[in-house]
Amino acid sequence: MATPSESQRIVQQQRLQQQDELRQAKRALLMTPLMGAAHPALPLVRRHAEALREWFQREAGWPLVVERDGARLYKHPADLASATRGLPRYDRQRYVLLCLACAVLERAEAQISLRSLGERLLGHAAEPTLAARGFAFTLQTQGERRALVTVCQTLLDLGVLQRVAGDEDAYVQGLAQQQGDVLYDVNRRSLAGLLAAVRGPSSWPVGQAPVSLEERLASLVQQVLPDHDEARRGALRHALARRLLDDPVLYLHDLDEPARAYFVNQRGAMAARLAEGTGLVAEHRAEGSALTDDAAELSDVLLPAEGTEAHATLLVAEYLANALSERQCAALPVAAVAAFLAAARETHGRFWRKAARESGGEHELAAQALQRLARLGLLRLQGDAVLPLPAVARYRLGGVQTLDAPA
């Protein structure tokens, strides 16, 4: 029979284990809000479903739906115009293709082939409204077929599609039909949960749909709240918590006056509570706050990282940090960043891939580095100008001190 002290120790161990499992489940949902049956963290999420639902709703106002074969955290972003989000290797065309592919899959059978998906998608792509906006898609080139395969890979990653048989590479190369096709299962539950919106576009009244992209995005996530002070404070707290959990950095200058006043008074307690629940680390500076992840698990973009682009990005971050200190936040031309990398090639080029070492390669390298830093909230791109933001100062190197070896 366990002694009282042993019983207390067992209870304490169980409590610590539960807290650790909850943190792991929260982190998994933050990184993979649409979680399929194959995700290794789904058993943890299902085990702690009630506690997770309560925590996300209380802290961020994000609904969580947990089912037997998946989970969906509806992460409505606080800043719809943020440049820190985006799918890798996606441009305007691929985002349109992703939406059109989902429209095709919504009306498809339980299985669909890649060729059939492409052929049906062409019918949607021929809409006059899309053509009027400059969108064209024919599947006649390898580049277009590769774009469709990229969309399918995204849907595979999200669990909307599951590959049964076939080879996407053969399809891209345009080989014979029996060699160049892929068969997919369609997961309708994941497809239905793909759009993290409060209301669907089909709910817009005929003739009264929002016109601009900004208006449409705002309408999709707009929530009707009671008109009293407590509800307004709750909505404000949720918006700030969402930015701490989902954005790289929360800058005070991005907040309006009511939000700034609330955050300055509450950010210590708010960030500490969120950090305790997720295992993140709160950092506060005069310019704003951030929840950082020492484990480097909760970011789509890593810095530092391996590869030519990552190395160049780190060099550009140091360059911009020095410029921020010297110029006091003055914007720099993109050409200056490219010129810096051209000069850095003389010292570091031997570590870069061949294309980046060639004359003129600095322009593409600069564009990739700036996009990566923008997604990390370390700068803003304003046309052909670069505006370093305060958080990039962490990449400024201090003086180097050399210690003599012991005798």
pLDDT value for 399: 58
pLDDT value for 402: 60
Rounded to whole angstroms, the Cα distance separating 135 from 97 reads 10
pTM of the model: 0.86
What mean pLDDT is reported for the chain?
89
pLDDT at 225 over 80: no
Q: Which residues of 112-134 are buried (b: 16+ CB within 10 A; e: fewer)?
A: bbbbbbbebbeebbeeeeeeeee
Half-sphere exposure of 387 (CA within 13 A, CB side): 6
45, 104, 116, 135 from 191: Cα distances, Å: 20, 11, 18, 24
Give the helix/strand (H/E) hosting 375.
helix 361-375
Q: How confident is the model at residue 175 (pLDDT cuts 50, 70, 90)?
A: low
Rounded to whole angstroms, the Cα distance separating 252 from 52 reads 29
Which of 79, 365, 396, 71 has the alpha carbon at shortest distance from 218?
79
69, 237, 241, 260, 270 from 265: Cα distances, Å: 42, 12, 14, 9, 10
pLDDT at 1 over 70: no
pLDDT at 177 over 60: no
Q: Percent of the chain, pLDDT > 90?
A: 60
Rounded to whole angstroms, the Cα distance separating 235 from 225 reads 8
193, 250, 289, 325, 367 from 264: Cα distances, Å: 35, 12, 10, 25, 35
DSSP designation for 92: H
Rounded to whole angstroms, the Cα distance separating 96 from 102 reads 10
Phi-psi map region of 299: left, alpha, beta (phi>0 left; psi -120 to 50 alpha): beta
Cis peptide upstream of residue 304 (ω within 30 degrees of 0)? yes
The tokens for 18 are: 């539960």
Tell me the average pLDDT across 172-190.
80
pLDDT at 20 over 90: yes
Rounded to whole angstroms, the Cα distance separating 291 from 125 reads 41
pLDDT value for 14: 84
pLDDT at 2 over 60: no
Sequence-distant (6+) residues with CB within 8 A of 87 are 94, 95, 98, 154
Sequence-distant (6+) residues with CB within 8 A of 387 are 329, 331, 332, 379, 380, 381
